[in-house]
A and B are shown apart, each in its own frame.
Chain A
Amino acid sequence: MSKSINLTLKVWRQKGPGVKGRLETYHAGNISTDMSFLEMIDVINEQLTKDGKEPIAFDHDCREGICGTCGCVVNGRAHGPEAGTTLCQLHMRHFDDGDTVVVEPWRSRAFKVIKDLIVDRSAFDKLIQAGGFVSVNTGGAQDANAILIPAEVAEEAMDAAQCIGCGACVASCPNASAMLFVGAKVSQLALLPQGKPEAAKRVNTMVRTMDALGFGNCTNERECEAECPKEISITHIARMNREFLKAGLTAGEK
């Protein structure tokens, strides 16, 4: 049943990159529990705009949990307290009247704050450019069933392919490591025959790019898989570790 709640919000406000920011307190009154977290911020922003103040800058796009654009750390949890959801799928019914809610941007050396709650995630684009692809020859398309892939392998690759690149794994990792993001991509492509020819090169380039971008090292804390809105398992990280060792020890390239 729909009801209204009142909240105290503490939101990270920062004018631009490299500028000192701080938590500002806002009162969110008469918030319908049917609203999503982003709609709640919309309501605050409307009031801020009416008051002639700068609205809170936050990233969002599809608002149905598939684009990976939104994401903030809510009370210390990436995408908020619910499992397997993005911030836009988090509803205000999961909060109680009178709660204080602290909203912070993703924190990582590799993700610089652009403004308020918006961070620069182009480090993920650089990782995908480094190896998150398969090379395909031009020419006539071959028959769709020419390459046989066992259903369970296709399923497992699909589990990894669910990654929406939101960055919650980095944000929730105590070491700000990108291993789940890179692991999911390496694993997805290493599982499929189309990805195998470039598997060794891919894992080497992606891991080296990840290290160079300033992400932390994985220490198997498992916070990433607990926070991932697509619930991607760390078994994909293990597969990347295997692929990396295999590439390091046996691949032709030096």
Chain B
Amino acid sequence: MNWVTSTFGSSIGKKVLMAVTGLAFCGFLAAHLAGNLTIYGGKDAFNAYAEKLHALGPVLTAAELGLLLFALIHILTGLTLFYQNFKSRPVRYKVNKRAGGRTLGSGTMPYTGLLLLCFVVFHLLNFSFVDKTGTTIFAIVSKAFANPLYVLVYIFAMIVAAVHVSHGFWSAFQTIGASHPKYMPLVKGIGLVFSLIIGIGFGFLPIYISFIA
């Protein structure tokens, strides 16, 4: 087992852990969004989707535990990297200027990540760990989004998620070594489109529920 700790405990190993768990979250986001889009089919379609999902039982629990494990790895490794990188330059520059590599997404990864962690906790408390007896998920969601503050928080969180993903997606490919001048522009393009889909796709849902549905 020595090779496991020495491989994944190294700087590159930690990056790989971030990349693999991060890409898994991209997959989760895509699936979550696809499920949420049933809202456009009406109240019954959305409730039916939620029921079908929960009917999966142990499969769903396993998936949730998997996500929790991945989240722990992503958060703890991310915080370790953040701390180590902060320490790696004890005397900082008086003048800081970008040379053109750093983007809004790449420069804010630890901060957008921590904001997303707060959001995930908030989101789970709102819609997951609530008493669902005698009510439907649609009723819970539409009640929450009747409050404009919730709508604003959710839209802001989705913008943050889009910024996080805009760097995370292509960066994950670079980290696992899947980088080549031939296909990297395509990966970067897909990453940008994917982050826009996440931002707009999720971000428009609270608006739709509170004002249109």
Binding site for B on A (CB under 8 A): 10, 23, 73, 75-78, 102, 104, 107-110, 113, 172, 174-177, 179, 204, 207-208, 210-211, 214-227, 233-235, 237-245, 248-249, 254
B8 — which chain A residues lie within 8 A by C-beta? 248
Chain A contacts for B16, CB-based, 8 A: 241, 245
CA distance in complex: A177, B7 (Å): 18
A241 near B12 with CB under 8 A, answer yes
A residues in contact with B134, CB < 8 Å: none
B99, A226: Cβ atoms closer than 8 Å: yes
Asked if B47 is at the interface of the complex by the 8 Å CB criterion, the answer is no
Q: Does B178 contact A (CB under 8 A)?
A: yes
Which residue in chain B gives the minimum CB-CB distance to A244?
A: B12
Q: Which residue of B lies closest to A222 (CB)?
A: B101
13 pairs, A vs B, C-beta closer than 8 Å = A73-B95, A76-B97, A218-B11, A220-B170, A221-B102, A223-B98, A223-B99, A234-B179, A237-B174, A238-B179, A241-B175, A241-B177, A243-B177
Chain B contact residue count (CB 8 A cutoff): 46
Minimum Cβ distance to chain B for residue A150 (Å) = 16
Expressed in whole angstroms, the Cα–Cα distance for A241 and B90 within the complex equals: 27
Flag if A108 contacts B88 (CB, 8 Å). Answer: yes
A109–B99 CA distance with the chains assembled, in angstroms: 21
CA distance A220 to B167 in the complex (A): 9
Q: CA–CA, A63 to B175, complex, Å? A: 36
Complex CA–CA separation, A218 to B94 (angstroms): 22
Listed stretches B79-87, B146-154, B193-201; interface member = B79-87
Task: List chain B positions with a Cβ less than 8 A from chain A.
Answer: 2-3, 6-8, 10-16, 81, 84-85, 87-102, 106-107, 109, 167, 170-171, 174-181, 184
**Cβ–Cβ contact B85 & A104, under 8 A:** no
Instruction: List residues of chain A with CB within 8 A of the CB of B170.
Output: 220
Expressed in whole angstroms, the minimum distance between the Cβ of A38 and any Cβ of chain B is 19
B176: which A residues are within 8 A, CB to CB? 241-242, 245
A107-B91, A241-B175, A248-B6 as given contacts; A216 in contact with B85, CB under 8 Å: yes
Question: Complex formed: what's the CA distance from A193 to B167 in Å?
Answer: 35
Which residues does chain B contribute within 8 Å of A216, judged by CB atoms?
84-85, 87-89
| Bound: A108/B97 CA distance, A | 16
Least Cβ distance of B37 to chain A in Å? 31
- Residues in chain B near residue A225, CB distance under 8 A: 101
A211 in contact with B175 given A76-B97, A104-B95, A254-B2 (CB within 8 Å):
no
B3 near A235 with CB under 8 A, answer no
Given contacts A109-B90, A216-B88, A218-B15, contact A244 B101 (CB under 8 A): no
A102 engages B94 (CB within 8 Å): yes
Point out the residue from B84, B95, B102 that lies within 8 Å of A217, measured CB to CB.
Answer: B84
A73 and B93: CB pair below 8 A?
yes
The docked-state distance in angstroms from the alpha carbon of A113 to that of B85 is 19
A217 touches B13 (CB 8 A): no
Q: A241-B12, A245-B177 are in contact. Are A219 and B106 (CB under 8 A)?
A: yes
B109 surroundings in chain A (CB, below 8 A):
219
With contact pairs A76-B95, A219-B81 given, residues A207 and B10 touching in the complex (Cβ less than 8 Å): yes
How far, in angstroms, from A241 to B127 measured CA to CA in the complex?
A: 40
Closest to A215 in B: B88
Q: Tell me which of A107, A208, A221 has the highest count of chain B C-beta atoms within 10 A of its own C-beta.
A: A221
A221-B101 CB under 8 A given contacts A73-B93, A102-B95, A174-B107: yes
User: Which of chain A's residues have a CB closer than 8 A to the CB of B85?
Assistant: 174-177, 216-217, 219
User: Which residues of chain B are within 8 angstroms of A214 by Cβ–Cβ distance?
Assistant: 88
